[in-house]
Amino acid sequence: MALENSRDDRRSSDPEYAANLRRATLASSVGSALEYYDFALYGLASALIFGELFFPALGAGAGTAAGFATYAVGFFARPFGGVIFGTIGDKLGRKGVLIATIGLMGASTTLIGVLPTGEQIGIWAPILLVVLRILQGLGAGAEQAGATVLMAEYAPVRRRGYFSALPFVGIMIGTIIASIVFFFLGLVDRQIVHDWLWRLPFLASILLIAIAIFIRLRLRESPAFINLEKNEQVARNPLAVSFTKSWRTIVRGIGLRMAENGGSAIYQTLAVSYVTKIVAAEEWEGPLAIAIGAAIGVFVIPIAGALSDRFGRMRVYRIGSIIQLVLAIPAWWLMSLGSMWLIIPVLAITYGVGVNVMLGAQCAALPELFGNRARYIGVAITREFSAVIAGGIAPLIGALLLVAFSNSWWPLAGYVVVLSGITLWATIVTPETRARDLDLVTDAIDDSYDDLSSRPLPTVSRRQFKAQNRA
């Protein structure tokens, strides 16, 4: 650990390292913005218009459920993308994979914008939608894992939580953009939206693709992977390493993601559909609430990351899960009352605070949990399998619960409580990872007490940090 600390001290005064750190932050942030622009855009479209566009023969309720089913398909594709690209990332490096995934994901989203509808080509419309959603999921399956690993491996040790959280502000920016788009679509004549206007937000993805690829082409490989190659420790089969050596770590990581990813999907899609179609709120209210919640997340995520440097990843993560658990029942009850003055702030706070406190702590925690030989694929498997279990099927399960319980709000609140309880348990059984040496090839679960005690003290203040760098 002392070796990494001394190396970290040298990095902090190295202009080239500082430039690469800024470039890595920008590259990861733009990719995160594109992924979650796509994520939020597709989720909102599934909640509000895809049922009528691609499944017109099914009727309103079944059409919405079918739209959510295509939403879930993308999540089922993500683990395969995580395994494929995660393996490549651990064998050949992070940079090339990040260029490939952003291109695949963005191109798929753009092509959704040119698809014919169900009225135009019948059954082929949903088939093509599902194909593009699968391709989108394959790219997204390694995109966020790669951005997470890259930033953790670039970031200064004592401030890794803060720097690793910065690219995830891109998640909020992407969500804000998508939510604002649907806010304005809700103000336009519905027939115009259904005729052609819905296509423009998907076609706009091509701009983010171009920017992201340009930035990533100028990016250097991560320091941790360079050291892995230098020491000839690159795994021949990272997938085998992850399932034989890291399965306990993966289980804990999935547990950590249940409330964060599940809560994010529930509030961004299911809650929007619930307040719009069941409570009969205006179509713009849900997207506006999500946009406000994402704006709150812009501040909450880096603050939570910084707090995790000071107090520990699991302690901050635990607070986020408790916030979401405590808010679940009152939040859904208040939304069920149908008042705009309740729906917007309640949905904004539950998404903006509860979910994003956990996300801020997670940014550095997941890469720190895994050893260097199978970190990319380990994080990818953890993120994407949990994305299926927690996030991908959440809106579909919610829609089925609404049908089974006559549109009652309490099963949805109970669903959030269960997910939050799982994550709360996971924070208790997962080892603390703050400031762990990312050159270690073993997982955090195998660390000894001496390993834990050798880590640096919690981060100092910004003023002290700058003073130390000058010294």
Quick check: 228 and 89 in contact, CB under 8 A? Answer: no
Quick check: 293 and 350 in contact, CB under 8 A? Answer: yes
d(C-alpha 91, C-alpha 113), whole Å? 35
* Domains, the chain, with CATH or none: 19-222+236-461 (1.20.1250.20)
282 closest CA partner among 138, 162, 392, 182: 182
CA distances from 189 to 52, 185, 198, 211, 283 (A): 15, 8, 12, 32, 12
pLDDT in 10s for each residue of the chain, 471 residues: 444 554 554 455 567 777 778 878 887 887 777 777 877 777 777 767 777 777 766 666 676 677 777 777 777 888 898 889 989 989 888 888 888 888 888 888 888 888 887 788 878 888 888 888 888 888 877 887 888 888 899 888 888 999 999 888 887 888 788 778 877 877 777 777 777 787 888 888 888 778 878 888 877 888 888 888 888 788 888 889 888 999 999 999 999 999 999 998 899 888 888 888 888 778 788 888 888 998 999 999 999 999 999 999 999 999 999 999 999 999 999 999 988 898 999 999 999 998 999 999 999 999 999 998 999 999 999 998 898 888 777 877 888 888 888 888 999 999 999 999 999 999 999 989 998 999 998 999 888 777 776 777 655 455 654 554 454
385 closest CA partner among 145, 98, 163: 145
d(C-alpha 432, C-alpha 446), whole Å? 12
d(C-alpha 75, C-alpha 134), whole Å? 8
d(C-alpha 330, C-alpha 319), whole Å? 18
